[in-house]
Amino acid sequence: MRVIQIFAIIFWGILVILGPRAAAAASFMDGFLRQNAVMLLIDPDTGAIVEANPAAAEFYGHDRDKLKAMKIQDINMFTAEQVAHERKLVATEGRNFFIFRHRLADGSARTVEVHSVPLDFDGRRLLYSLIRDISHERALQKDLWHYQSRLEQMVDRQTESIRLKSRDNLITLSVATFGLFLALVFAILVLFRRWQAQKELKAERQKYQRLINGLTRHFMYTHDAEGVFQYVSPSITDVLGYPPEAFLTNFDKYLTDNPMNQGVIRFTERSIQGLQQPPYEVEIHHADGRVRRLEVVESPVFAENGAVVAVEGIAHDITDRHLAHEALQRSNEDLQRFAYVASHDLREPLRMVGSYLGLLERRYADSLDEEAREYMDFAVNGAKRMDDLINALLQYSRLQSQGEPFAETNPGNALDEALNHLQPVLAETDGTVEADLPPKVKADATQLVLLFQNLVGNALKYRHPDRRPQVRITASVRNNKVCFTVQDNGIGMDPEFFDRVFIIFQRLHTDDSYEGTGIGLAICKRIVERHGGRIWVQSDVGKGSRFSFTLPVAP
């Protein structure tokens, strides 16, 4: 029955990859629900359980609807950070085999063996997880070690008794001999139970090995504590075109001369030392002559005495992802150069238009009628607005290319400088700004000033007409990040615009209501993302807005 399940699983994978999307999804889900094995579909970003089959509901003691309302963190007895890290490893196809402790509905805990692989299903990237209860096997192994220890103790005691009393007490020798006989029978029984357990475990591992061998975008390998390859999975032929036996003996010959490959030996040595390594990349020649880039994850294998006896690894072909990333990076650089050059070249003719419009206005203002002067005002204001837009676009394009290196920065000093720039607006609106900030963050000081200036400036601009503007800025440390919040009591905004306000040139108001270029918040988003953080907004119409963003903690 278990073999049939494995073939069914492979068949669903083929449907998902090759078949029409709707038919493949339907076939997959039909088989998914009929399987006796415990199966879950999990969102790799949030850990939410997207789907669970009836076997999972029976195993965990929750009905399927309740399971689908839970997250895997609610079941897994690891901490939330550990579970998130494991999901990330699975999502990047770096690992797919784990042993966890899962909590059932009745409060009991079970030791489970989990196999997870990424799966594109119904337009989403999910984790397809097979869960097997190995609590009995773990308990059996524990009992076997206990029985073996008892046997050794019995043999030692009986042998010592025989040595001391055999010359004087034949009866004691007979009893000891009989005890040894019983011990031998007991040992045979223990060994038989161990053989049965190992046989079952071997059958289960062979089943999952067939599933692993069916995956074509990665291969697994094992090398001993000397760094000599002992095993390579057959799927290497699909990834690199070589048979496993050729790769075992000629690995070094297939490496390219890319400098990144010089670190391979260093990573391997650290794994042999028992250190868990982050994923690393290597470049290898494919059998057809192409160069392929692999992402490698290695884990040391320990003996009972704590010594490293082997290293297991999994290599995943990321060539397409790497090439797409390089192309995107080149495209972004080209766009930044284009925006800078275009904006810079547009300013000269615009200055000329503005200058001549001003000259015409001063020289012929008295001879123009009211309608002509109104037209002149429209032209002057239009030229000024275009100049503001070009200045903002230049500023936006320079954020990445002309940013300063990150350094320890006092956010209080950056806020003071921003408020100095905003002093005329503060005086005009009678606004107040309160702040409770940490002494330091790791940031580009100039861009941090611009970030505060734009957020506080927006709070003053979009003030409520019936109350004096008040802005409060606070910060707290979360997960090695400093989270800042800029809260105001202004006009607020509807939740449907929360994402739109960070898009360049997107405005929620006309120039007649509020002047602006529509770039300020886009600049804020780009500054925060350059620092490896994120920015978001919460707001209620008529009650104000709360803009939050994260920056790295200073060491």
User: What pLDDT, on the 0 to 100 scale, is given for residue 469?
Assistant: 93
pLDDT of 484 > 80? The answer is yes
Of the candidates 332, 394, 389, 390, the residue with the CA atom closest to the CA atom of residue 530: 332
- Beta carbons of 517 and 458 less than 8 angstroms apart: no
Residue 151 clears pLDDT 60, i.e. is over it:
no
Provide mean pLDDT across the span 438-444.
91
pLDDT at 127: 87
Torsion of CA 302, 304, 305, 310, to 10 degrees: -20
- Residue 87: which residues within 8 A CB-CB, separation 6 or more? 42, 44, 47, 72, 127
Note the pLDDT of residue 275: 85
463-467: long-range pairs with CB below 8 Å, 24+:
463/429, 463/431, 463/488, 463/489, 463/490, 463/491, 464/489, 464/490, 464/491, 464/542, 464/544
For residues 17 and 475, which has the higher predicted lDDT (pLDDT)?
A: 475
Does residue 105 register a pLDDT over 50?
yes
What was the pLDDT predicted at 17?
A: 42
Q: Which long-range contacts (CB under 8 A, 24 or more apart) does 327-333 make?
A: 332/400
Token code pair at residue 486: 């800029």
pLDDT tier, 57 (very low <50, low <70, confident <90, very high otherwise): very high
pLDDT tier at 89 (50, 70, 90 boundaries)?
Answer: low
pLDDT class of 102 with cuts at 50, 70, 90: very high
For residue 26, CA distances in Å to 20, 65, 131, 308, 376 come to: 10, 19, 22, 46, 66
Which of 247, 299, 250, 294 has its CA nearest to residue 272?
299
Radius of gyration of the chain measured on its C-alpha atoms = 34
Tell whether the model's pLDDT for residue 507 goes beyond 80: no
Number of CB atoms found within 10 A of residue 207's CB: 16
Q: Report the distance separating Cα 428 and Cα 55, nearest Å.
A: 68
- Mean pLDDT across the stretch 222-248? 85
pLDDT at 4: 45
Q: What is the tens place of the pLDDT at every residue in 345-389? A: 666 677 777 777 778 777 777 777 778 777 777 777 777 777 766
The mean pLDDT value for 264-286 works out to 85
Overall pTM > 0.75: no
Q: 62: helix, coil or strand?
A: coil
- In this prediction, what percent of the chain has a pLDDT beyond 70? 75
Binning pLDDT at 50, 70 and 90, where does residue 14 land?
Answer: very low
7-16, 402-411, 445-454, 526-535: least confident range: 7-16
The most confident of the ranges 215-229, 462-476, 486-500 is 462-476
Measured in degrees and rounded to the nearest 5, phi and psi for residue 129 equal -115, 130
Tokens at 192, concatenated: 């038989």
Whether 555 has a pLDDT exceeding 70, the answer reads yes
Q: Please give the average per-residue pLDDT across 299-316, as a whole number.
A: 87
Q: Residue 405 has what DSSP assignment?
A: P
What would the pLDDT profile of 222-231 be if each residue is shown by its tens digit?
Answer: 888 888 888 8
Token digits of residue 232:
């390579």
**Mean pLDDT over all residues of the chain?**
79
Give the mean pLDDT of 28-45: 86
* Residue 186: per-residue pLDDT: 75
pLDDT value of residue 2: 45
How many other CB atoms are found less than 10 A from the CB of residue 37? 18
* 323/333 Cα distance (integer angstroms): 15
Q: Is the pLDDT of residue 177 over 80?
A: no
pLDDT at residue 6 is higher than 50: no
Between 151 and 412, whose confidence is greater?
412
Identify which of 89, 47, 127 has the alpha carbon closest to the alpha carbon of residue 314.
Answer: 89
Weakest mean pLDDT among 67-76, 78-87, 287-296, 339-348: 339-348
Q: Which residues contact 46 (CB under 8 A, 6 or more apart)?
A: 71
In angstroms, the CA 308 to CA 356 distance is 80
Report pLDDT for 1: 45
Of 148 and 237, the one with more pLDDT: 237
Whether residue 18 is predicted with pLDDT greater than 50 in this model: the reply is no
